């Protein structure tokens, strides 16, 4: 069933369209930067963009900062929200279950496909932006790069840290995927599930910046999203990264358990 889900993911035009859009946004920004040479002031959002003009190999990090707030969560929410609800609305859910595919197995396969999409999305953004970065900006392979903390990094170190940041972002996205997947088992409308997940994220983002909500801040799903930047500090600032990972693990575990409990006991009337 996992193979079937992966084949379905690959043969879906939507998958490739959303990946293309994800990669196109950083590329557009890169082109503007390269043409005008007008970078944002150092320290301004999105992170790293100012440094890119000097060194193109930092562009993957900048690209992550560009797609992380909106584009990536939207793409993940759409794919994960569609996973069960989409089958239900197309009527295929009943035929899969009758085939038979066990309900737990179907849910696991859906989850694997969503994880695959998240990884594919993060990696393709990183790879395309690296290629764009070194071809449009001054590439200085072999030379050092300055971190957020002002310390220089060797290319190997940079590679390792970028990889770490990618993994961290991917795991943050799993939280989004878990919310959308859970909602997807509740409704037969994939749009509803995706929008529900996005609504949760927008609420969380709004509360993170609200001082009045300080009491709940550590438990908000987006609270530690930006902790991936800490991979580029020297030494790496593990505190927020660790908390972020633990928080996402709790969200993923609880929501998947809820999705499983709901899906395995629900009447399939679609």
Partner 1 sequence: MITTRALTKRYGPIVAVDSVDISVRSGERYGLLGPNGSGKTTLLRLILGLVYATSGEIEVMGASVPRRVGAVLPDIGTLVEGPAAYGHLSGRANLALLDRAGPARGGGGRHARRRRIDQALERVGLAGIDNRPVKAYSLGMRQRLGLAAALLNAPRLLVLDEPTNGLDPQGIREIRDLLSELNAAGTTVFLSSHLLAEIEQLCTRVGVMDRGSLVLEESVEVLRAPTGRTIVRTPDVDLAAALLDGRIEARSGDRLVVRHPDPAELNGLLVTAGLRVTEIGAEHRSLEDVVLQVTSAGSDRVDGSGRVDNSRSVDGSGRVDDSGRVDDSRSVDDSRSVDDSRSVDDSGRVDDSRRVDDSRSSGAS
Q: Is 267 in the site for partner 1 (CB under 8 A)?
A: yes
User: Which pair of structure tokens corresponds to residue 190?
Assistant: 């994939």
- Closer to partner 1 by Cβ: residue 84 or 170: 84
Minimum separation from the CB atom of position 224 to partner 1 (A): 37
**Rounded Cα distance, 142 and 155, in Å:** 6
Tell me, by CB under 8 A, how many residues bind partner 1.
24
Of residues 12-41, those binding partner 1 (CB under 8 A): 12-13
Quick check: 156 binds partner 1 (CB under 8 A)? Answer: no
Contact by Cβ (8 Å): 108, 7: no
List the one residue from 11, 209, 212, 235 that touches partner 1 (CB under 8 A): 11
To 5 degrees, how large is the angle CA 256–CA 163–CA 82? 30
If the CB atoms of residues 90 and 152 are measured against partner 1, the closer one turns out to be: 90
Q: How far is the CB of 75 from partner 1 (least distance, A)?
A: 18
Residues 77-106 that bind partner 1 (CB under 8 A): 90-92, 94-102
> With CB under 8 A as the contact rule, which of the stretches 3-11, 125-133, 150-158, 172-180 interacts with partner 1?
3-11
Contact 165, 57 (CB under 8 A): no
Q: How far is CA 105 from the centre of its chain?
A: 24
CB atoms inside a 10 Å sphere around CB 269:
8
Which H or E run includes 145? strand 145-146
Of the pair 36, 269, the CB lying nearest partner 1 is at: 269
| Choices 5-13, 27-35, 180-188, 215-223; region in contact with partner 1 by CB under 8 A | 5-13
Residue burial 147-172, b: 16+ Cβ < 10 Å; e: rest: bbeeeebeeebbeebbebbbebbbbb
108 binds partner 1, rule: CB under 8 A: no
CA pair distance 29, 107, nearest whole angstrom: 38
Which listed range, 7-15, 66-74, 127-135, 164-172, lies at the site for partner 1 (CB under 8 A)? 7-15
Query: Would you tell me which residues interact with partner 1 (CB under 8 A)?
Result: 1, 3-4, 7-8, 11-13, 90-92, 94-102, 265, 267-269
């Amino acid at each position: 069933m996992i193979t079937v889900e992966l084949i379905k993911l690959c043969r879906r035009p939507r998958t490739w369209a959303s990946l293309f859009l994800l990669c196109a946004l950083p590329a557009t920004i890169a082109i503007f930067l390269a043409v005008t040479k007008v970078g944002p002031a150092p320290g301004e959002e999105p992170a790293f963009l100012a440094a890119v003009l000097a060194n193109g190999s930092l562009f993957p990090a900048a690209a992550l900062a560009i797609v992380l707030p909106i584009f990536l969560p939207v793409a993940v929410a759409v794919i994960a929200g569609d996973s069960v609800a989409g089958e239900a609305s197309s009527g295929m859910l009943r035929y899969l279950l009758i085939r038979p595919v066990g309900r737990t197995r179907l849910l696991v396969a859906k989850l694997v496909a969503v994880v695959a999409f998240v990884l594919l999305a993060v990696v393709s953004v990183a790879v395309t932006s690296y290629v764009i970065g070194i071809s449009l900006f001054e590439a200085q392979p072999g030379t050092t790069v300055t971190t957020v903390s002002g310390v220089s990094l060797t290319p190997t170190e940079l590679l390792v840290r970028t990889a770490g940041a990618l993994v961290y972002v991917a795991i943050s996205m799993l939280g989004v995927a878990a919310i959308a997947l859970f909602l997807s088992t509740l409704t037969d409308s994939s749009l509803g599930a995706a929008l529900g997940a996005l609504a949760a994220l927008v609420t969380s983002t709004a509360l993170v910046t609200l001082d009045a909500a300080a009491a709940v801040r550590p438990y908000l799903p987006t609270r530690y999203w930006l902790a991936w930047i800490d991979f580029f500090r020297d030494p790496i600032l593990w505190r927020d990264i660790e908390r972020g990972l633990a928080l996402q693990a709790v969200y993923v575990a609880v929501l998947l358990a809820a999705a499983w409990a709901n899906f395995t006991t629900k009447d399939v009337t679609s």
